[in-house]
Chains A and B, each alone.
Chain A
Amino acid sequence: MTSPAPAIDIRELRVDYGNFVAVNDLTMQVPPGEVFGLVGPNGAGKTSTFRVLATLQTPTYGAVKVGGIDIFEAPEEARRILGYMPDLAPVPSDMKAWEFLDLSCESFLGGTAAERRARWEECLEAVQLADRRDAMCKSLSRGQTQRLVLARTLLHRPRVMVLDEPASGMDPLSRRNLRLTLRRLAAEGTAIFVSSHILGELSELCTSLCVMNRGTLLSSGTADEVRAALGRTDRSLSIGVLARRQEAAEWLRVQPHVHDVETQGDRINMGFKGSQEDQATLLEGLFANGFRLCVCEERKTSFEEILISVAEDNTNP
């Protein structure tokens, strides 16, 4: 059985600004129904990639297909199936919320006024903004503006959604609703390409992730695959020893794969670089030496730490 054609197919994409290479020969695919997160420090090339995908910018070279449509050859066709939500989503100051949605509905779908109204009301309901339909866009709060623009993005039922920081400014309830909405859309087969600085949320939301830095794709795959690929197998171990705590710390300091051993209250914290097998051997050694363990906690490197480490690589080339 052949795998479905990718919803987003980017090949050898390059974007230059003068001598600065914003995106350098990026190649990646996003299958339908996937929520794909794009992570990277500032200047990594995320927004340039998104703007090219959204048909707002022409790259130096490269091929980009959305739903099988070449976005440079048939941009109007591609726009019909694309939903793009820009960062700091702007709204027109002279329009009411419903007018803004009606304009988008008309420019994407056409149809009668009643049909359009039914559609934008449905989208307003989906983002819990129905009670603000007659408000002027400029009077909406930051979070409400984000939700309004999300509603606009949903209007024409895009098969591919490109969302740049969709959750910024949203309260926790709205974020949860956003998460649920995106999951529902993905379940219906929509490919969602999303970037966010709220990385914990991104790893919760996304089925796959990719990390970019200096215009280059460092890694992509599931969260664990990305961790492994970026060599961030580091984890922290925290153990509780009932007695002879100082003696146990001294013993641990000389063990392989162990580093930065610290005693903190009734716990001993340490960094550990070995495999799961090595970790099991270490724990067996503790028991064999008569140390009585009451607890052992393991903490994996977070995406935030990965991103900080990538960003630090930028400052220390």
Chain B
Amino acid sequence: MNTVSASGPAPAWCLWKNPILRRYFRTRLRPRGLGAALILTLIVAGFIFTISRIMGLKQMEYANARIAANPDSRMFMLSMEDVERMCLLPLMAVQAFILFIVGTGQVAGGMTADADEGTMDYMRLSPMTPLAKVLGYLFGLPIREWIMFASTLPFTAWAIWRGGVSAEYWVPVYGVILVAAILYHLTGLTAGTVLRNRRWAFLLSMGTVFLLYTLVPQLANLGLVYFEYLTIWPVLTENMHAFMPKAAGEAIRVANMFLPDDRFFNLGFPKVVFTVFSQLVLCVTYILMLWRRWRRSESHLMGKAWATGLFIWGQIVLLGCSIPLIEHGLLFMTRRINMRFSLRRLSQEGWSPDLSEAMLMVSIFGTVSLLALFLLGMLIAPSRDDQARGARRAVKLGRRGPSLIADEAPSLLFVTIMALAGGAGWTIFANQLIGSHWFPGQVLPAWTPVAFATVLLTAGLGAVLVYELWGIKGVFLSAVFIGVVPILVGTILAASASQLSTASVWITGASPLMAPSNAVATVLPDGLGIHDPLRLAAPRAFLFWQVVMVFAVIWMFAKHRALHRARYRRGIAEGGEAMQAA
């Protein structure tokens, strides 16, 4: 009889011995599939490399001939190094497509395929640690895409070597590309773990990647600079000049000098360090989410303590990246656009921001905080089934309820902490911005923190209470009929007749999504710059709807408590019956 040395599965850090990784080495690197993928990649990369060189050589010949004929010509002299560099950025685009798009889709689809076929249970049954399973899937599923990426590297390496690109430029750029690829793959892995349908997982992962790493970073132009660090852009723009012909690169480098030099609380971290750090924080968050799911398939994606910490960390980095830019006005989009296109100096006189732009930025800060609160609140809120299970378990164990951080425990305390932290962060941002030298004479009222915290508290608690009381259907119906419909109706009214704009403000004010902007309009009525009736309507509508929300939250809270007590009593009764039966 055969005896295998029962050494057990390799530890998580022993990646080369990871069975899941080795599985995908076999299945995703079969000669036929890999061969086709490599041929396609090499054709595209080879074409880009060759055509860039040919065009570069022709351009060099033409430019140098023109300059030789006319030394006063405004053309730039091109060298062989410039020619070699020309293929670098197009090649990088291909590499990013392979890793970010194809790789992420493959990770999400592959994960769902395993769940769909039912074979994921075999991996659940294996005694490997949850971390080893996460790492195995993370690096195993997109293994073909990593090989495809690697197959383009000889072209890049040639261009970097012959183009004389210093390591101080390409190391940070490629370092960030690799970290970003892992971050995007983790996004796909999480989507694939949550969803059962392969097509939906692919679409969700693509949508999340597009949202998180393309759309959300645009908020950097509206004061939330931090989101840019979730992409490769800050590091790429900083080093892009080295990947271009020298003359063109110099122009980019000079233009970059006029762009904001974002620094986290003026602490002077290099951009690459802060970018990698920001992305790694998100990577660790995703790994923890997946770890929880592998450890226990019914677990919430995020624990209550981690979600609260992540929310507070989010507030800190948003503030840390934005506040240093206020002083020189670089936080304002109008200033950035102005500088980007006209290359005017920072000391340019005669420019000052409009208060409405600052109000928009403060509103967006509040809205983003509210959306983050909704998202994290939903991740940590227990469903009705979870709560019932928790109550039964607590009764069985003779406790009054599940532990505070258990998945089955109500999320209200943690949502309250997050809402208060969000209110504080939002107030600090508003104070720093409105109280800056750009807006002399503008002071936020002393009750601003109360107003901001109330917005987040009522909306955040309202959302999780609806979920904990009525489940996902309740959340869906509330989101549609309280969150979206008032905004749509209000917009139709406002668009149909100017006399209806006051009514429109009252109706849209019913939506919690409008509460942040109405709160800002309430604390800063001067900034509205609009006619009087509307100026009065916004604060009144805000106060009215907040009072309504407060009462609604109190009513739901009372109902929640009553339900909790009833569950506990039912659990005791069931226990009593079981005892009698025994």
Residues on A with C-beta less than 8 A from B384 are 18
A5-35 with Cβ < 8 A to chain B: 12, 14, 16-19, 25
> Would you call B385 and A16 a contact (CB within 8 A)?
yes
Verify B396–A119 contact, CB threshold 8 A: no
CB interface residues, B 74-120, toward A, < 8 Å: 113-114, 117-119
The residues of B that contact A88 with a CB separation of less than 8 Å are: 118
Q: Give how many A residues have a beta carbon under 8 Å from the other chain's beta carbons.
A: 48
- Contacting pair B9 A110 (CB below 8 A): yes
Do A16 and B127 touch (CB < 8 A)? Answer: no
A109 touching B125, Cβ below 8 Å: no
Other-chain contact of A119, B4, B23, B125, B128 (Cβ < 8 Å): B4
Do the beta carbons of A106 and B22 come within 8 Å of each other?
yes
With a cutoff of 8 Å between Cβ atoms, the chain A residues found around residue B580 in the complex are none
A122 to B129, CA, bound (A): 27
Does B446 reach chain A (CB closer than 8 Å)?
A: no
Q: Interface readout for A86-116 with B: 1 if CB under 8 Å, 0 if not?
A: 1010111111000100011111111110011
User: Are B122 and A99 closer than 8 Å at their CB atoms?
Assistant: no
Q: Is the CB of A55 within 8 A of B125?
A: yes
Query: Are B19 and A99 in contact, with the CB atoms below 8 A?
Result: no
Instruction: Check B298–A92 contact: CB distance below 8 A.
Output: no
Cβ-based interface call for A193 (8 A): no
Contact yes or no, B26 A95, CB < 8 A: yes
Contact of B117 among A12, A82, A90, A111 (CB under 8 A): A90
Contacts A79-B127, A108-B9; is A90 near B23 (CB within 8 Å)? no
Residue of B nearest to A93 (CB): B117
- A17, A19, A108: the one contacting B126 at CB < 8 Å is A108
Chain A interface mostly helix, strand, loop or mixed? mixed
**Cα distance A76–B124 in the bound complex, in angstroms:** 10
Contacts of A77 in B (CB 8 A): 127
For B123, the chain A residues whose CB sits under 8 A away are: 107
Closest to A21 in B: B574
CA distance A116 to B397 in the complex (A): 44
Within 8 A of A (CB), among B1-26: 1-10, 17, 19-20, 22-23, 26
Q: Which of A56-64, A194-202, A278-286 contacts B (4 or more CB under 8 A)?
A: A56-64
Q: Is A80 an interface residue (CB 8 A)?
A: yes
List residues of chain A with CB within 8 A of the CB of B266: none
A14 to B574: give the CA distance in the assembly, Å. 12
- Please indicate the chain A residues that have their CB under 8 angstroms from the CB of B298 in the complex: 57-58
- Asked if A217 lies at the interface with its beta carbon under 8 angstroms from chain B, I say no
A-B contact pairs, 30 of them (CB 8 A): A14-B396, A18-B384, A25-B578, A56-B121, A56-B297, A57-B297, A58-B296, A60-B389, A60-B396, A61-B396, A61-B397, A76-B128, A79-B127, A80-B8, A90-B118, A90-B119, A92-B114, A93-B113, A99-B23, A99-B26, A103-B22, A104-B122, A104-B126, A107-B19, A107-B126, A109-B4, A111-B4, A111-B7, A112-B5, A116-B4
A residues adjacent to B (C-beta < 8 A): 12, 14, 16-19, 25, 54-58, 60-61, 75-77, 79-80, 82, 84, 86, 88, 90-95, 99, 103-112, 115-116, 118-119, 121-122, 152, 156
- Residues of chain B touching chain A, judged by Cβ–Cβ distance below 8 Å, are 1-10, 17, 19-20, 22-23, 26-27, 113-114, 117-119, 121-129, 295-298, 384-385, 388-389, 392-393, 396-397, 578
Closest 5 CB pairs of A and B: A90-B118, A107-B126, A106-B19, A110-B7, A107-B19
